[in-house]
Chain A
Amino acid sequence: MSAAVELNDVTLRYGADPNETPALRGVNLNVPAGDFAAVVGRSGCGKSSLLKLVSGLQPATHGTVSVDGEPVTRPVGVVGMAFQNSSLLPWRSTLENVLLPLEVVAHKRRDYRKNKKQYEQRACELLATVGLAGQEQTPPKSLSGGMRQRVSLCRALIHEPQLLLLDEPFGALDAFTKEELWQVLQELWRATGCTVILITHDLSEAVLLANTVYVMGPRPGRMIYRADIALKRPRELNDRFDRDFIDTVAELRHHIGQSHAGRQAA
């Protein structure tokens, strides 16, 4: 199950002052169901605001946001989210953290209470696929940063969301842990088939994982470039050293540099 995401001429302004530069202006985005899209850009160009719009945490000032053909007006349980900070609840065990969405999402709640054992089983399986078998009862503070991020991914997926929103989930990890988790994410996406929108600073990460990479420019945040990544699947870490891959990254880099130069000239 997966959902298409569509943003039509979306503007987002946090303050009430109409003369203030909006966080996002005229953003169009179209992610087909089951696709993997990445959004790259400098800090503060509105990437996180984009996710807040899609998840329904923040209403658009102008324009329409729709998920699975339905306009988004408030948060609904069809979305799974993970952030740079794993934000696990420290008083819960790893397993209890993964199960959290089931206690909250409206259409899963009752079913979860009836079939607790079954869902716990599923959570354990999910933890095993990200390499955390045997850590079910560990408190989050005893896990490493990379392990916490794995748990956070499991929590984002346990309620079988149609859409996975990732806000720099690997931003705080060391290079090797990151590489491992790229593989994990690719595998999870293949297995679940949900739509993914990944926000990142890391251009190699975007090109390695996504089908389409969007480049955002700052102040106001807007889409300035779109690249379709035609590399074969499944992708290996070593693909990063191929000619095509390097060219694509260089091209994206160029567009991000331009957005910055243009801003300075203005």
Chain B
Amino acid sequence: MVTRKRLEPLLPWIVTIGFFAVWEVAVWALQIEVFILPAPSDIYRSFVRWHEAIWFNSLQTLYTTLIGFGLAVVGGMLLGLLIGYSKLAYSALYPILIGFNSIPKVALVPVFVIWFGIGTVPAILTAFLISFFPIVVNVATGLATVEPELEDVLRSLGATKRDIFLKVGLPASMPYFFASLKVAVTLAFVGSVIAETVASNRGVGYMMIAAQGRFDVPLVFAGLVAIAAMGIVLYAMFAWLEQRLTSWAYR
């Protein structure tokens, strides 16, 4: 058991490094061309060579992602609370919400370009739209699953609707809210990068499309790695926040 305990924190590193090692060996052994699948060492070299461009574009992507995500947090929270709290709002808004969520967000980017032009705004909006829905659904579920007895305790004391919401509904939905943030923030990256690949002159998505045009496949992969790394960091941040703020909900 001692070895297992010591192994656990090392395991993610071993698996990740192992993954890249297998990749490297496979590319070398199967003699895969660099413009088909570059080896991790090629991607690393590309990182070193283009680090300024990668840094600049990653910051742009991070910026649009976080603004879109922030809007989704505020909007999703408000709408989720409304839907979870009021049966009427739920039945009125759910069909249209499902409809909007079913639309492929990439199909909306050209529309955003017509409205707002190429650049930052379409990326923010796409990140917002794609990460909005899971937050709404989770917050609404959290509110709707509050035990009726918890509410009865307060109602029998003559509590107002506002009291019940503030003392029971809102705190009870927090674990659901934080669980959705972890998913939503990674989705927000998907949204902003999609928009950048279709219509932008900045950001990792744009950089990848430009690199692809020059058959610089290692740089395309460097972009992917940069996005993945940012996704992991933000996910970890929200997982930590969740642990801190809603530890009561876990064993």
Contact = CB atoms under 8 A, between A and B. Distances in A.
Given A90-B249, A139-B248, A141-B248, A101 B157 contact: yes
Interface string B161-200: 0010001100110100000000000000000000000000
A148 to B, nearest CB: 13
B170 to A, nearest CB: 10
A119 interface: no
B168 A79 contact: no
A159 B157 contact: yes
A74 B150 CA distance: 18
A100 interface: yes
Interface in B119-154: 147, 149-150, 152-154
B143 to A, nearest CB: 15
Contacts of A85: 147, 149
B155 A57 contact: yes
A76 interface: yes
A85 B153 CA distance: 11
Nearest to A82: B153
A98 B152 CA distance: 16
Contacts of B167: 89, 100, 103-104
Given A77-B158, A91-B248, A57 B168 contact: no
Contact of A104 (B147, B158, B249): B158
Interface residues of B, number: 20
A236 B122 CA distance: 76
A211 B159 CA distance: 32
> What does DSSP make chain A's interface, helix, strand, loop or mixed?
loop
A104 B171 CA distance: 16
A106 B158 contact: yes
Contacts of A105: 157-158
B171 A83 contact: no
A159 to B, nearest CB: 7
Given A56-B156, A76-B158, A104-B159, A87 B149 contact: yes
Interface string A72-99: 0011110101010101011100000000
A89 B152 CA distance: 12
A55 interface: yes
Nearest to A78: B158
Contacts of A75: 155-159
A85 B174 CA distance: 22
6 contacts: A74-B158, A75-B156, A77-B157, A81-B153, A90-B249, A104-B159
